[in-house]
Structure 1
Amino acid sequence: MAEFATSTAPADVVRRQYLASATGDLEALRATLAPDVEWTEMAGFPLAGTYRTPDGVTAGVMEKLGQAWDGWTAHDDTYVVDGENVVVLARYTATNKETGKPIDVRVAHHFVVRAGRIVRFEQFVDTALVRDAMTV
């Protein structure tokens, strides 16, 4: 396990990011992100836009998801790795705090990892399913 925790292999870095997110460990999550990270949430997603810096990502995305959803988790299922590119097929599960509606939505995430840090992230998700869960 110690090797996984310190590995700079792109898939290992991405996996650490998912584990940190799932446990709410924002410090560990920030440690996987490059200082100049560009993190893009898909157009149509409630948090759509590009966030920069590790603090910008955790404050603008992770903390806001925790405020709006109970149990927000990205379940990483399948990894496809090509050099510094890591595509993860995953799903989001959570329950919206305002409506009480659950989601279980398939997603794809594209990461670019350089020098052991995530430098770019792009999300692909059915935003209509997420928004439906947010509508009373």
Structure 2
Amino acid sequence: MTETTGFHASTAPADVVRRQYLASAHGDLEALRATLADDVEWTEMAGFPLAGTYRTPEGVTSAVMEQLAKDWDDWTAHDDTYVVDGENVVVLARYTATNKATGKDINVRVAHHFIVRGGLIVRFEQFVDTAKVRDAMAA
């Protein structure tokens, strides 16, 4: 078994979360959905343009990732630092993108809290400076 194969088969919480970021960065929604539990609860922060809690892998990708792609060019979550405590994975990251309507860029720090059980993400919560995101969307 190669290291790459082991990573893709690993159920270690940090590996599952890393696969989610890689799938998102490549626009591979099928691979992203494969990291999510059927009963996932995915919460975008209050004040964020897509604020709310979404359920099911299809619900998450259609309500969040597909919507981000409609409003932003090159939306990327750059995962920098992982803090792992059992099934809890906190990722310090950065969003970069260009708003399609205004042409304004964002480069904003974020924190993501994941709970991973049985090799799948069961819960996600986003923490972000929503004012910076909204400023980029304002004409």
Q: Which amino acid aligns with 1:3?
A: G
* Residue 29 of structure 1, CA deviation: 0.1
Q: Secondary structure at the match of 2:48?
A: coil
> Which of 93, 102, 107 does residue 105 from structure 2 map onto?
102
- Give, in angstroms, the shift of residue 129 of structure 1: 0.1
Question: Which residue matches 1:127?
Answer: 130
Instruction: Give deviations 1:63-111, integer Å, cap 9, x for gaps.
Output: 0000000000000000000000000000000000000000000000000
- Structure 1 residues not aligned, in runs of 5+: none
1:111 aligns with 2:114: yes
Tell me what 2:44 maps to.
41
Structure 1 distance, partners of 2:54, 2:126, is 12
Alpha-carbon offset, residue 121 of structure 1: 0.1
Q: Which runs of 5+ in 2 are unaligned?
A: none
> Of 6, 9, 15, which residue of structure 2 is paired with 1:6?
9
Distance in 1 between residues matched to 2:69 and 2:128, nearest whole Å? 18
Question: Letter of the aligned partner of 1:52 in structure 2?
Answer: R
What is the aligned-residue RMSD (CA, Å)? 0.2
2:64 corresponds to 1:56: no
Aligned letter for 1:39?
W
Identical-pair percentage: 82
Deviations 1:24-57 (A, max 9, x none): 0000000000000000000000000000000000
Report the residue type matching 2:107 in the other structure: D
Residue in 2 aligned with 1:67? 70
Q: TM-score scaled to structure 1, two decimals?
A: 1.00
Report the counterpart of residue 81 of structure 2 in structure 1.
78
Look up the match of 1:17.
Answer: 20
In the TM superposition, structure 1's runs of 4+ consecutive aligned residues that sit over 2 Å from their partners are: none
Q: How many residues align?
A: 136
Other structure's SS at 1:113 match: strand
